[in-house]
């Protein structure tokens, strides 16, 4: 299933359809993170900063499909670990911190919460 960033103003997704209906990936180097539903306080913060209505988070069908792409997290949101001894040119391992809340490229305040379904057509 294609992944789409839940931020209404974000164009990122793992696939799009061009005018001929051909799919292609558009997520070069992006990661997609699930909402932290088991940590209710943090999940509530995510809903608030992303201006997603609480009722969307309570919808069991939608709840587990919501993802946020890595463009919405600053470097401070990650825990960084040195690479295991697998070779010299291995990148550091970056894992989203358990208490991380999206803090980059967020929707503006004037974006109404009730526009979640009609604000952006996610079908590409």
The Cα 52–Cα 115 span in angstroms is: 9
- 122 vs 9, more confident: 9
How confident is the prediction for the chain on average, in pLDDT? 77
> Is 101 a residue whose pLDDT tops 60?
yes
**What does the pLDDT look like over 32-78, one tens digit per residue?**
999 999 999 999 999 999 998 878 777 888 888 889 999 999 999 99
- 121 vs 101, more confident: 101
Residue 67 zone, left/alpha/beta (φ > 0; ψ -120 to 50; rest): beta
Partners of residue 41 on adjacent β-strands: none
pTM for this predicted structure: 0.71
3-state secondary structure of 104: coil
Query: Mind giving me the DSSP string for 7-55?
Result: -TT---BS-EE-TT--EE---TT--EEE--TTSHHHHHHHHHHTT--HH
The Cα 105–Cα 50 span in angstroms is: 10
> Is 29 a residue whose pLDDT tops 70?
yes
Task: Report pLDDT for 118.
Answer: 42
Among residues of the chain, what percentage have pLDDT more than 70?
A: 66
The Cα 12–Cα 15 span in angstroms is: 9
The Cα 35–Cα 50 span in angstroms is: 11
What does the longest C-alpha to C-alpha distance in the chain come to? Answer: 50
């Amino acid at each position: 299933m294609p992944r789409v960033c839940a931020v209404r103003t974000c164009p990122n997704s793992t696939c799009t359809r061009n005018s001929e209906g051909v799919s292609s990936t558009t997520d070069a180097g992006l990661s997609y993170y699930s909402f932290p539903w088991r940590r209710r306080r943090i999940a509530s913060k995510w809903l608030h900063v992303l201006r997603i209505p609480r009722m969307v988070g309570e919808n069991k069908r939608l709840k587990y499909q919501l993802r946020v792409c890595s463009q919405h997290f600053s470097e401070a949101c990650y825990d960084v670990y040195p690479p295991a001894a697998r070779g010299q040119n291995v990148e550091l391992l970056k894992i989203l911190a358990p208490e991380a809340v999206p803090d980059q490229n967020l929707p503006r305040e004037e974006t109404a919460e009730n526009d979640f379904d009609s604000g952006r057509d996610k079908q590409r």
